[in-house]
Amino acid sequence: MAEKQNIRALTIDELKAFFTEHGESAFRAKQVYEWLWKKQATSFDEMTNLSVATRAMLNEHFVFNTVTIAEKQISSDRTIKNAFRLYDGKITEGVLIPTPNRMTACISSQVGCSLTCKFCATGKLDRLRNIDAEEIFDQVALIKQQAEEHYKTPLTNIVYMGMGEPLLNYSNVLKSVEYITSPNGLGMSPKRITVSTAGIAKLIKKLGDDDIKFNLALSLHAANDAKRSEIMPINEQNSLESLKEALQYFYEKTGTRVTFEYIIFKDFNDSLEDAKELAEFCKIVPCKINIIEYNPIDDAQFERADSEKTDKFAAFLENTFNLIVNVRRSRGKDIDAACGQLANKNKAAK
């Protein structure tokens, strides 16, 4: 017998073709599609508006490659870190970040990462595989459920800032955004979604060509090539000059303001000279800047910048260069859920 297909990998047209081929009305495809994406069914038994015979036929041909929560940790600041078990047993991670004004899901696009950024725990892992679009969707759906159950608040924002480099899983990331924003899916606004990249110039341009509607963030962390290459090897193939050109192209195509993320490290990139270089780079497109506190990881060579120095750095950018700047304080540090700390330390991954 042929191996069963993952039903959620099929388009609605492929589902229609399946039903027609098996002597059923093509209308069944719409019913099934709604169960898969709007109602997030995880078995055919849940599809109660289908006959028992139809459900049995579906069960004969298809499987659900669903994601489950293998382990959950709740921080003292209410952040929730999840170890997600994928259908093949691999583990990735995602975080619910509650703040007074928003409820954010931070999700992963790869199991591990291939970029080896020096300050990031995930960068110390091997990249095991890309995460499928439906598995990315599941992370959001599960975290959305947590927000409602734990905090009685709907999910407001999604950031692709967990494990992996989203643009190296380009088609699955875009397809997952389609599922998340579709009225037949979670119905979230693409303006509530931010995809964060370490900076792959040709793929940033491709985002512009594809006229994406979500937000783009660039993990910058240094605004001169020598420093950036020291902490982010990807800069050697994607220089700041090439990123400038790509971001300008992206903005011309989409009209979407870019976010620059800047982790501030003690005695590395925290001087006013560094701030001037950052301002010079950021002037290339309409933008905002997120200054992010560093979260120490095992065997790291960096330390967190002093809070007073961080605030002066941000104020200098705002007051001297009239830039929009936010200082992002760490969340979930006590459970290794803060920015840069996701590294499968949970028991489920061992």
All structural domains of the chain with their residue ranges: 5-63, 75-349
Active-site positions? 93, 339
pLDDT for 276-296, tens place per residue? 999 999 999 999 999 999 887
Q: What is the mean pLDDT of residues 4-21?
A: 96
At the fourth CATH level, the homologous superfamily of domain 75-349 is: Aldolase class I (3.20.20.70)
% of residues, the chain, pLDDT over 90 = 83
Gap between the Cα atoms of 19 and 293, Å rounded: 53
Q: Are 50 and 69 in contact (CB under 8 A)?
A: no
The correct answer on CATH 1.10.150.530 for the domain covering 5-63 is yes
Report the SS3 class of residue 224.
coil
Would you say the CATH fold of 75-349 matches that of 5-63? no
**CA 170 to chain centroid:** 12
Given the structure tokens 């240094």, which residue do they identify? 222
Judged against a pLDDT cut of 90, whether residue 260 lies above it is answered with yes
Which has more confidence, 120 or 9?
9
Gap between the Cα atoms of 216 and 204, Å rounded: 9
Predicted TM-score (pTM) of the model is 0.92
CA distances from 63 to 2, 13, 56, 87 (A): 12, 18, 12, 10
